[in-house]
């Protein structure tokens, strides 16, 4: 007996380790689409084996007559009954060993899956928050494992009570037999794990609201549950030796069914969170390891604020939508900056020495950490910056931060062979610069911070950040979340005013400055950085032009035109800020754009119905109001908006469309950076191109046409860093982005963006 039990245990451990290895592989590989398909196949194959082993063993143990008699109405069991009637005795013993072994492995593996579900539902809010806590040592979901272990212990205790003091091994075997009688539990395992794999695949590669996750997967689980009920009801007398099941029987049914059904029930249990999952999913998948994803998951913005606010004092930050207090930020100065730079400089050699592979792993873990805290970050961002949770706003920004962080790990920056002709060999290598200073804006504080810090860290640099005085809390919270994963002092932040910014741009230990903001501020940084000959990446102000060609369909382009101009309530550097439309379709474009604009609700960001919010600060509100008033006074026609409510709460400026405006009006030639769009009438594309190129800025532009070749021809004549066709501002982490003329220099994103954060070194020999 002892050798047999030893073999059983060895086989069990090997099977479980194999399943765990598959799970870990699924979380770590680089190609999520390929991996999701592989994970689905692995889950189905493994669970099918569990089903086959357990069903066959039970059928052998019970004997053909008992199986047929107990399950006369369930055809699938007849197959196993047939095999059991013709199996030799040694095969019966082997089947029993395989039965115990495979079932134990199945329970452990399924236990792991359910723990992941408990964790995800606790983190997402569908179940109590304590379920999302993790072990400080292993980062495994403690409460999920505890809950599952409690269920298992309860089953064992109940069977111990009803076994009337029989041998413990008999009790254990009886427990396994009961749970898998005629393959009931094996089939539940097959169905549930298949549901889990299907949901995981489609939530990552399709949509969380697809027919798969809302209908098919729960239906599969439902079929499994129906089968379990039928088996238990039909076989109850054999299982427990009772004529009537009583209350105990129903309790036992629930103990088995509840954990077995939870994967299929996930779409229903998280029903109240469907809107949250639409943008940011908490569902564990091949890209999110719940074992590693969070050392601390904050339930809401207030919890996050408590972790970053000073105990006493500090500058108050107010909600631009309501005027209410959001939180307080510590007042830091040049001395604090010196300390931060010194710490980052000291940490840089070790960070660089980790190598690309380890830095990529840590950055992906940091992305997991943002996902674990996505809703709290989005809520804080909405309250501080003003942008709504919904639409292309707060949740969108946090999701974009995750995408850009992961994108920074997607490229390999290998040495480039310059010459290799047999006599001469030369290669270009990319080395870390040292410490990078990042100065961010208030319009997209989290996402643009990631644009700056992710490639910098990826290339072996350390980073010191200086957030905007208007939105420091959002960036402090983001850095706090990231630093729960990153090594100490690799990423530092100093929240201060102009003194800190000037000190950072001139600091002798800062190798490069990355800046996003106004052209005026950018010029000041260029001057202050000159003495130390810093490298610079400058994404400065834009006054992007959009050119509509005569063959465009006004109705078809209206909504994309709107979001190109009014994303983030117009507070975007690369937003469409002046629209040139030919006379022949001018009225039609104005009408279509006005209809779309009227339908877009504006209001406080925490109201889920709104997609447009307030201007972030009073200074920007005054700029927009002044420019619109100037346009109206000069005779321009107001199609929509332009009359803000007096003495209203918050910096809400109504969505405004201005037509019949002179091309030289200030609303056209100056960047309004708000929800006001001038629509300029032109004779043809040549006049539109001339006006588009007349200003000293050139961040982006767009051409709108049903003829792609014609649009490409016009795009080539526009002086801008990026020209989009039939869209505007649709940036992509794979595609380099940068300005022309006085809109800045240097490239961000993609492989070019990574190389811009490195020192090229030529090695010749």
Question: pLDDT for 24-53, tens place per residue?
Answer: 333 333 333 343 344 434 444 444 454 444
What is residue 550's predicted lDDT score, i.e. its pLDDT?
97
Other Cβ atoms less than 10 A from the Cβ of 484: the count is 16
Phi-psi region of 625 (alpha: psi -120 to 50; beta: other; left: phi over 0): alpha
The band of 128, judged by pLDDT with boundaries at 50, 70 and 90, is low
Q: What is the pLDDT of residue 30?
A: 36
**Strands 656-659, 676-682: pairing kind:** parallel
Contact 332, 494 (CB under 8 A): yes
Percent of the chain with pLDDT over 70: 61
Chain segment 342-362, per-residue pLDDT in tens: 999 999 999 999 999 999 999
In the structure, what pLDDT confidence band is assigned to residue 262 with cuts at 50, 70 and 90?
A: very low
Q: What is the pLDDT of residue 679?
A: 99
**Which pLDDT score is estimated for 646?**
87
Query: What number is the average pLDDT over the span 523-546?
Result: 95
How many Cβ atoms are within 10 Å of 227's Cβ, its own excluded? 18
Of 342, 456, 480, give the one whose Cα is nearest residue 405: 456
Residues 494, 340 contacting (CB under 8 angstroms): yes
Q: Of the given ranges (118-122, 576-580, 589-593, 736-740), which has the lowest mean pLDDT?
A: 118-122
CA distance 489 to 500: 18
Beta carbons of 54 and 106 less than 8 angstroms apart: yes
Q: In the Cβ-directed half-sphere of 328, how many Cα atoms lie within 13 Å?
A: 10
Chain segment 577-604, per-residue pLDDT in tens = 999 999 999 999 999 999 999 999 999 9
CA atoms of 529 and 543, how far apart (whole Å): 26
Question: What is the predicted pLDDT for the residue at 456?
Answer: 98
pLDDT at res. 76: 37
Which of 164 and 406 is assigned the larger pLDDT?
406
Average pLDDT, the chain: 76
Residue 722 phi, psi (nearest 5): -135, 135
Contacts of 719 (CB under 8 A, 6+ apart): 692, 693, 698, 740, 741
Residues β-bridged to residue 548: 704
Give the pLDDT confidence of 155-185 residue by residue, as tens digits.
444 444 444 444 444 444 444 444 444 344 4
pLDDT digits (tens, 9 = 90+) for 434-475: 999 999 999 999 999 999 999 999 999 999 999 999 999 999
For 764, how many CA atoms within 13 A lie in the half-sphere containing its CB?
A: 6
Closest residue by Cα to residue 395 from 282, 299, 278, 297: 278
Q: Are 583 and 550 in contact (CB under 8 A)?
A: no
How big is the CA angle at 357 (ends 353 and 359), to the nearest 5 degrees?
Answer: 60
pLDDT band at residue 141 under the 50/70/90 scheme: low
Residue 61 has pLDDT above 50, yes or no: no
**pLDDT score of 297:** 79
Q: Which of 27, 371, 539, 748 is catalytic?
A: 539
pLDDT in the model for residue 724: 98
* Residue 82: pLDDT over 80: no
Q: How far apart are CA 60 and CA 498, in angstroms?
A: 80
**CB contact at 8 A, 231 and 74:** yes
Strands 416-420 and 425-432: antiparallel
Q: How far apart are CA 504 and CA 464, in angstroms?
A: 9
Q: Which of 517, 446, 61, 132 is nearest to 300 (CA)?
A: 132
Does residue 539 have an active-site annotation? yes
pLDDT digits (tens, 9 = 90+) for 479-507: 999 999 999 999 999 999 999 999 999 99
Domains of the chain: 2-279 (no CATH), 331-540+752-758 (3.40.605.10), 544-735 (3.40.309.10)
Note the Cα 441 to chain centre separation in Å: 22
Q: Which residues of 363-381 are buried (b: 16+ CB within 10 A; e: fewer)?
A: bbbbbbbbbbbbbbbbbbb
| Mean pLDDT for the stretch of residues 672-693 | 98
For residue 77, the model assigns a pLDDT of 39
In this prediction, residue 765 carries a pLDDT of 83
Query: What's the pLDDT at 311?
Result: 80
The string of pLDDT tens digits covering residues 635-669 is 999 999 999 998 899 999 999 999 999 999 999 99
Q: How far apart are the first and last CA of the chain?
A: 70
| DSSP string computed for 456-499 | HHHTT-EEEEE--SSSHHHHHHHHHHHTTTSPTTSEEE----HH
Summarize pLDDT for 280-333 with one digit per residue, the tens: 333 233 233 333 334 567 888 999 999 999 988 899 999 999 999 999 999 899
């Amino acid at each position: 007996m002892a050798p047999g039990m030893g073999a059983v245990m060895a086989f069990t451990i090997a099977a479980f380790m194999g399943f765990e290895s598959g799970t870990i592989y699924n979380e770590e590989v680089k190609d999520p689409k390929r991996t999701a398909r592989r994970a689905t196949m692995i889950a189905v194959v493994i669970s099918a084996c569990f089903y086959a082993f357990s069903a066959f063993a039970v059928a052998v143990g019970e004997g053909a007559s008992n199986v047929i008699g107990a399950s006369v109405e369930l055809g699938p069991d007849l197959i196993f009954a047939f095999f059991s009637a013709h199996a030799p005795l040694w095969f019966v013993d082997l089947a029993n060993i395989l039965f115990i072994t495979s079932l134990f492995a199945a329970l452990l593996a399924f236990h792991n899956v359910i723990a992941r579900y408990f964790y995800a539902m606790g983190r997402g809010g569908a179940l109590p928050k304590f379920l999302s806590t993790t072990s400080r040592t292993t980062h495994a979901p403690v409460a999920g494992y505890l809950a599952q272990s409690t269920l298992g212990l309860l089953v064992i205790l109940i069977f111990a009570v009803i076994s009337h003091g029989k041998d413990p091994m008999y009790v254990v075997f009886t427990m396994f037999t009961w749970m898998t009688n005629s393959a009931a539990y094996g089939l539940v395992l097959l169905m549930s794990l298949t549901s889990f794999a299907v949901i995981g695949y489609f939530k990552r590669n399709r949509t969380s609201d697809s027919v798969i996750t809302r209908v098919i997967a729960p239906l599969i689980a439902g079929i499994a549950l129906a089968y379990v009920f039928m088996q238990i009801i039909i076989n109850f007398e054999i299982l427990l030796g009772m004529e009537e099941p009583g209350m105990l029987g129903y309790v036992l049914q629930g103990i088995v069914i509840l954990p077995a059904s939870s994967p299929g029930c996930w779409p229903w249990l998280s029903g109240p969170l469907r809107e949250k999952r639409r943008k940011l999913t908490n569902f564990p998948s091949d890209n999110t390891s719940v074992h590693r994803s969070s050392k601390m998951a904050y339930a809401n913005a207030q919890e996050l604020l408590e972790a970053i606010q000073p105990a006493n004092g500090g500058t108050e930050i107010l909600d631009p939508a309501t005027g209410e207090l959001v939180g307080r930020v510590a007042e830091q100065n040049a001395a604090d900056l010196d300390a931060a730079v010194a710490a980052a400089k000291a940490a840089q050699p070790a960070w660089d020495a980790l190598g690309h592979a380890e830095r990529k792993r840590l950055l992906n873990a940091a992305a997991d950490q943002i996902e674990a805290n996505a809703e709290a970050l989005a809520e804080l961002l909405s309250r501080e910056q003003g942008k709504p949770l919904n639409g292309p706003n707060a949740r969108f920004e946090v999701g974009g931060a995750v995408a850009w962080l992961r994108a920074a790990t997607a490229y390999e920056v290998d040495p480039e062979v310059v010459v290799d002709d047999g006599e001469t060999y030369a290669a270009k290598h990319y080395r870390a610069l040292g410490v990078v200073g990042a100065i961010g804006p208030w319009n997209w504080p989290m996402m643009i911070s990631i644009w700056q810090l992710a490639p910098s860290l990826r290339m072996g640099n350390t980073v010191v950040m200086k957030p905007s005085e208007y939105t420091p809390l959002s960036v402090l919270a983001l850095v706090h979340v990231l630093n729960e994963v990153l090594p100490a002092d690799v990423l530092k932040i100093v929240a201060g005013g102009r003194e800190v910014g000037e000190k950072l741009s001139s600091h002798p230990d800062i190798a490069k400055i990355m800046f996003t903001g106004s052209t005026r501020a950018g010029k000041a940084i260029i001057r202050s950085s000159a003495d130390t000959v810093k490298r610079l990446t400058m994404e400065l102000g834009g006054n992007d032009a959009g050119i509509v060609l005569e063959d465009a369909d006004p109705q078809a382009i209206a909504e994309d035109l709107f979001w190109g101009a009014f994303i983030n309530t117009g507070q975007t550097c690369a937003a469409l800020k002046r629209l040139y439309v030919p006379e022949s379709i001018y009225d039609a474009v104005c009408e279509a754009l006005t209809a779309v604009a009227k339908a877009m609700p504006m209001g406080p960001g925490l109201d889920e119905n709104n997609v447009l919010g307030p201007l972030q600060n009073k200074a920007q509100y005054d700029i927009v109001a002044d420019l619109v008033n100037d346009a109206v006074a000069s005779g321009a026609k107001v199609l929509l908006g332009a009359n803000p409510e007096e003495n209203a709460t918050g910096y809400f400026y109504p969505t405004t469309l201005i037509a019949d405006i002179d091309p030289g009006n200030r609303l056209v030639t100056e960047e309004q950076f708000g929800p006001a769009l001038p629509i300029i009438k032109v004779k043809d594309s040549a006049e539109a191109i001339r006006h588009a190129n007349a200003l000293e800025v050139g961040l982006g532009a767009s051409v709108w046409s049903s003829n792609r070749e014609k649009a490409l021809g016009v795009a080539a004549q526009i002086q801008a860093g990026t020209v989009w066709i039939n869209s505007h501002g649709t940036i992509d982490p794979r595609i380099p982005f940068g300005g022309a003329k006085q809109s800045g220099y240097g490239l961000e994103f993609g492989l070019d963006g990574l190389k811009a954060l490195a020192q090229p070194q030529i090695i010749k020999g």
